[in-house]
Amino acid sequence: MRKVEVVPFNESWSVMFEEEARKMNTIFGNEIVAIYHIGSTSIPGMYAKPIIDILVEVKDIESVDHYNEQMSALGYRAMGENGISGRRYFRKGEVERTHHIHVFETGSEHITRHLAFKEYMIAHPEEAKAYSELKQKLSEQFPTDIKSYIEGKDPFIKETEKKALQWYKHRNG
C-alpha cells in the first residue's frame, strides 16, 4: 500500500532532477530535444510528494520503446502510455517511488500543458500556496488512499491549468 506523503519543498530535488536528467541523456541520446523538471518538486516552496517528475521531449515517440531495457537497468518500469495517448511513462520504485519519467514527442500539447502549469505556479505564488495547502489537507485526509488524494486535486488542477495555458500562450506569443 502506497502512503500519501506530502513534504515541504526540498532544495535537493533540483539536484536529483539534474542527476537523473544526465542518465536520460545517456540513454536516449540524439532522440532528446529537451529535458524538463516538472511537477510540484520543480516549484520553489511547494509542498509535494517526494517524487521527481521529469518530462523528456523526443523527436520520435515510437523510438522510445527501444530503450525499455536500458531504463529497466536503471530501476525504471516501462508503463507504456499509461492512460495518456502519445506518452511513454516510466516509474522508478513501486511502493517507494522516487522518479516518474514522462516522454512526449515534440509538438505534443502535453509538453505545453506541463510547462505552462509549472511556470504559472512559479509566477503566481498565491496560487502555488493554495495548491500546496490543498495537497497537505488531502494527504492528511487520505493518508493511504492515493486515488482519493488525486481525485481531490483534480478540480483545482483542471481550473488552474486552463488559466495557466491562457497566461502561458499570452506570455510566449
Domain ranges, ordered by start, for the chain: 12-171
pTM flag (> 0.85): yes
pLDDT at position 87 over 70: yes
pLDDT at position 1 over 70: no
pLDDT at position 164 over 90: yes
pLDDT at 94: 82
- Residue found under cell 517524487: 51
- Identify the CATH number of the domain defined by range 12-171: 3.30.460.10
pLDDT at position 34 over 70: yes
**CA angle, 83 as apex, 143 and 160 as ends, to 5°?**
65
* CA nearest to 74, candidates 111, 19, 2: 19
How does the average pLDDT of the chain come out, rounded? 96
pLDDT digits (tens, 9 = 90+) for 59-78: 999 999 999 999 999 999 99
pLDDT at 3: 85
CA-to-CA distance for 97 and 112, rounded, in angstroms?
25
Could you tell me the pLDDT band of residue 22, with boundaries at 50, 70 and 90? very high
Please measure the distance between the N-terminal and C-terminal CA atoms of the chain and give it in whole angstroms: 45
Burial class (CB in 10 A: 0-12, 13-18, 19+), 144: exposed
Nine cell digits for residue 79: 508503463
DSSP, collapsed to helix, strand or coil, labels residue 63 as helix
pLDDT at 160: 97
